[in-house]
């Protein structure tokens, strides 16, 4: 029998996956394939680990983390990588906005002449 907290975790993960897929289907400009695959990998991995906890133990043995402290450090690094990815996405969006503003100003200057 599946516990209530596992059902809640799976539902939350599915909400994030479906939201990202909806954005991709609606062709939002910021939704690259890399973001789709990253989302599917991270949230899909959480679903798998939630539903099949032994998968986590096998993964940690494969990565060489034999005790809980090592796996906690590894998990911390994964979280840091996710945050770095988010920051890079924000920087990418800001760069696009700056480019659009500069283009708009340039075209406005050309039209006045």
What is the residue extent of each domain of the chain? Answer: 1-52, 68-113
d(CA 71, CA 13): 21
Q: Of how many residues is the chain composed?
A: 113
pLDDT at 64 over 70: yes
Per-residue model confidence as pLDDT tens digits over 14-59: 998 998 888 888 887 777 787 888 889 888 988 888 888 888 778 7
pLDDT at 75 over 90: no
d(CA 76, CA 70): 10
Instruction: Give the pair of three-digit tokens for residue 112.
Output: 């006045």
- What is the pTM assigned to this prediction? 0.61
């Amino acid at each position: 029998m599946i516990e209530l907290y596992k059902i809640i975790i799976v539902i939350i993960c599915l909400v994030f996956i479906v939201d990202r897929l909806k954005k991709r289907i609606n062709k939002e400009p910021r939704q690259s394939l890399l973001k789709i695959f990253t989302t599917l990998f991270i949230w899909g991995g959480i679903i798998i680990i939630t539903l099949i906890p032994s998968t986590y133990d096998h993964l940690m043995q494969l990565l060489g983390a034999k005790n809980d402290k090592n796996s906690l450090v590894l998990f911390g690094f994964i979280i840091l990588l996710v945050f770095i990815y988010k920051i890079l996405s924000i920087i990418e969006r800001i760069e696009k906005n700056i480019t659009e503003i500069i283009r708009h100003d340039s075209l406005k200057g050309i039209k006045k002449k």
